[in-house]
A and B are shown apart, each in its own frame.
Chain A
Amino acid sequence: MEYIECLKKSIEQHASNNALCIADTYYTYHDFANEIKKIRQAIVTTIEASEKLIGLVTNDDIQTYASIIALWLEGKAYVPVNPENPIDRNYHIFESTQTKYVLDSSKEKTIYIAFKVINTTDLKETYPNLNPKDFSGDNLAYILFTSGTTGNPKGVPITFNNVQALVDAIDAEPDFNLNSTDRCLQMFELTFDFSVVTYLFPLLSGSCMYTIPKEAIKYFYVFKLIKEKKLTVLTMVPSIINYLRPYFHEINEPSVRYCSFGGGALHSDIAREWSSCLPNCKIFNYYGPTEFTVYSGFYPYHKDTHTKAHNGIVAIGTPQKNTLYILVNETNEDVPIGVTGELCLGGPQITPGYWKDEERNNTRFFTREEHGETIRYYKTGDLCIKDDDGDFLYVGRADFQVKIRGYRVELSEIEYHAKTKSKEKVNMVALDIENTLGNAEIALAIESEPFDTTEIFNHMKSKMPGYMIPTHIEFIKEFPHSINGKIDRKKLKTYFKTN
């Protein structure tokens, strides 16, 4: 695997550079290599060669990052779980991937007692080198779980070939080149697919990444890092700058060279204001679902020359190298230029398919013949328009999936968990509402006289991560309905006051 070979070279060549800055402590590539070798030795001596899917508890420390690389050198996949998420959810993930082994760097005694746990902070023996094993590119590199409609998260497996295709596509982009003196923001939890680009590309170029402590108020810490560490490369979700917007007039950071956005709609007014805060910066509006290995393409935003937008949302531009974008109607036929269709992605970054979910695989993927070749496409559920220049413009979602702080959330999963523990058998609808900062929040509308919801909320908290728990709740005697008898979700949203 070419990119793993490049990782090894970069780690060895940049031994004296800083690789990571975690809570103000720096670790060099030499330190990083040592941790990788120790964890690799434990993997080689403990885990059978046939075991490919290894659990990883994602703490904010050097061992967690080193674990990913150690697994990759051995041709194994990481299955990350966030220690802050409910244990039920994490157990469910490991059970569905039939994971037997878990790498855990937690300070406290491990809670994964049903599994064979390797404590990665307490290893003595060292593997002799960082040479990658010879393995098939069809092996999985990671499996990430995102919100699912039936109450259980759905798994998206990504192969080493998929990641290689992502690296090839980014390398082919002449306007984006990291170098060994760059200082890069890594603000993402490792269960979130955006994190793959924010740790992989800094490591490949020998630059240093700066993480966010889990207890910090994220947007202020991001700014603190930009200011005090003079970060040069930012990758973030738009909600971060929505929070910082009231303070834009205090921000002027000439050190930043690149700022990439993804994981949510970027509004053009805020993009314009933000770009004034970063006078020397190129802004990229990236697009891409987890199913297509993080990024599939981007629009190079510039406040004077590249301002294409639709309904105030910055365009998502064109597909990157080897990626195909098509827009189709309900029967998977192409729609003409200027007409809204569902965006479908084809190319080498496409996932082999959802983990053990034939039904979903049959509906979300399709193949068709193009120029004598069979191309497999993933239906993103995002509606777009292609304009005369060939740029793609984002219109909205085709279903009930929303983005909360960059995370994909199926509203039906929230409704499912809210209803299961409710003694009152009443209608409940989860909604995404926008607060005054322009960020989406989850609201729960209940068709009933008011009652105590403590138990319902405790249940939801035991089943879903924090970002999926509704922050607003309203009891409504009778839900508004549209003419054809469906619950009028738009009208329902007007019952919620945001401040």
Chain B
Amino acid sequence: MDKEAILEKISTAFTQVLEHSNFTLTDATTADDVDGWESITHMMIISEIETMFGIKFKLMDLMNMNNIGDLVRIIQSKI
């Protein structure tokens, strides 16, 4: 799956959890840039993405994930 397709799927997950789509996800996007992306919703977004891609993140993956670019790379390495 190419990066664009992954980004699109991730965006769907964000919209579902955050109940809005007032964001554009790029490699540099962090929790600071997206309204409502914080501790609680982060957990929900992660589990939504796990279900979508049929993957399971490791704690090590998650602790080093600082932006959307990191998230995409981790997903690519697992599918």
Check B59 for interface membership: any CB of A closer than 8 A: yes
Q: Compute how far the CA of A435 lies from the CA of B39 in the bound complex, rounded to whole angstroms.
A: 13
Query: CB of A3 within 8 A of chain B?
Result: no
- Complex CA gap A224/B39 in Å reads 15
Interface flag for A250 (CB, 8 Å): yes
Q: Beta-carbon contacts of A244-278 to B below 8 Å, as 1s and 0s? A: 10010011000000000000000000000000000
Neighbour of B59 across the interface among A217, A250, A435, A437, CB < 8 A = A250
Q: Closest residue to B64 on the A side, CB-wise?
A: A224
CA distance A470 to B15 in the complex (A): 18
Determine if A227 is an interface residue (Cβ-Cβ < 8 Å).
yes
A471 at the interface (CB under 8 A from B): yes
Distance between B15 CB and nearest chain A CB, rounded to angstroms: 15
| A499 beta carbon closer than 8 Å to chain B | yes
| B32 with A215: CB separation less than 8 A | yes
Instruction: Say yes or no for A219: interface residue by CB 8 A criterion.
Output: yes
The majority secondary structure among interface residues of chain B is helix
Interface centre among A215, A250, A439, A466 (most CB of B within 10 A): A215
CA distance A435 to B42 in the complex (A): 14
Name the prevailing secondary structure of the A interface residues.
helix
Q: In the complex, how many angstroms separate the beta carbon of A78 from the nearest chain B beta carbon?
A: 27
Report the bound CA distance from A218 to B43 in whole Å. Answer: 11
For A242, the closest partner residue in chain B by CB is B43
A243 at the interface (CB under 8 A from B): yes
With A and B bound together, what is the CA distance between A243 and B58 in angstroms?
Answer: 14
The answer to whether A215 and B31 touch (CB under 8 A), given A224-B64, A250-B59, is: yes
Contact B59 A243 (CB under 8 A): no
B55 to A: closest C-beta gap in Å? 14
Is B60 part of the binding interface, using a Cβ–Cβ cutoff of 8 Å? yes
Give Cα A219 to B65, complex, Å: 12
Chain B: residues with Cβ within 8 Å of the partner, total of 16
Q: Which residues of A contact B42 (CB under 8 A)?
A: 217
Contacts of B39 in A (CB 8 A): 217-219, 243, 405
User: Which residue on B lies nearest to A471, using beta carbons?
Assistant: B40
Query: Which residues 217-248 in A have Cβ within 8 Å of B in the complex?
Result: 217-221, 223-224, 227, 243-244, 247
Q: Which residue from A215, A224, A250, A437 sits with its C-beta under 8 Å from B43?
A: A437
A243–B43 CB distance below 8 A: yes
Whether A251 and B44, one on each chain, are in contact in the complex, defined by CB atoms closer than 8 angstroms, is no
- Output the least CB separation between A362 and chain B (Å): 38
Q: Which of A470-499 contact B (CB under 8 A)?
A: 471, 499
- Which B residues are CB-close (under 8 A) to A227? 63
A437 to B40, CA, bound (A): 10
Q: A291: CB under 8 A from chain B?
A: no
B22: shortest Cβ distance to chain A, in Å?
12
A441 touches B58 (CB 8 A): no
A220 touches B58 (CB 8 A): no
Which partner residue on chain A sits nearest B56 by CB separation?
A246
Chain B residues within an 8 Å CB radius of A220: 59, 62-63, 65
> Contact at B62–A435, with CB atoms within 8 Å?
no
Decide: A250 near B63, CB < 8 A? Known: A217-B42, A243-B39, A441-B40: no
A223 near B32: Cβ-Cβ < 8 Å: no
Contacts of B60 in A (CB 8 A): 250
Residues of A within 8 A of B30 (CB): 215
B27 lies within 8 A of chain A by Cβ: no
- B20–chain A nearest beta-carbon distance, Å: 11
In angstroms, Cα B38 to Cα A250, docked, is 23
Complex Cα distance A264/B42, Å?
A: 22
Whole-angstrom CA separation of A405 from B30 in the bound complex: 22
Closest-CB distance, A216 to chain B (whole angstroms): 8
A223→B31 contact, CB < 8 A: no
Q: Is the CB of B59 within 8 A of A247?
A: yes
A437 and B47 alpha carbons, distance in the complex (Å): 12
Q: Which of A219, A405, A439, A441 has the most CB of B within 10 A?
A: A219
> Which chain B residues lie closer than 8 Å to A223 at the CB level?
59, 63
Assess whether A224 is in contact with B63, with CB atoms less than 8 Å apart: yes
Which residue of chain B has the shortest Cβ distance to A221 in the bound complex?
B63
Residues of A within 8 A of B38 (CB): 217, 466
Closest-CB distance, B41 to chain A (whole angstroms): 8
Tell me, in angstroms, the Cα distance from A244 to B46 when the chains sit together: 13
Task: Give A466 to B43 CA distance when docked, in angstroms.
Answer: 17
B31 contacts A217, CB within 8 Å? yes
Residue of A nearest to B59 (CB): A247
- What 5 A-B pairs have minimum CB-CB distances, sorted nearest first? A247-B59, A224-B63, A250-B59, A220-B63, A215-B32
A-B contact pairs, 8 of them (CB 8 A): A215-B30, A217-B42, A224-B63, A224-B64, A435-B40, A441-B40, A466-B38, A499-B44
- Chain B positions near chain A (C-beta within 8 angstroms): 30-32, 38-40, 42-44, 58-60, 62-65
Give A contacts to B, CB under 8 Å: 215, 217-221, 223-224, 227, 243-244, 247, 250-251, 405, 435, 437, 439, 441, 466, 471, 499
Given contacts A220-B62, A223-B63, 9 further A-B contacts (CB under 8 A): A217-B38, A219-B39, A221-B63, A223-B59, A227-B63, A243-B39, A437-B43, A439-B40, A466-B38
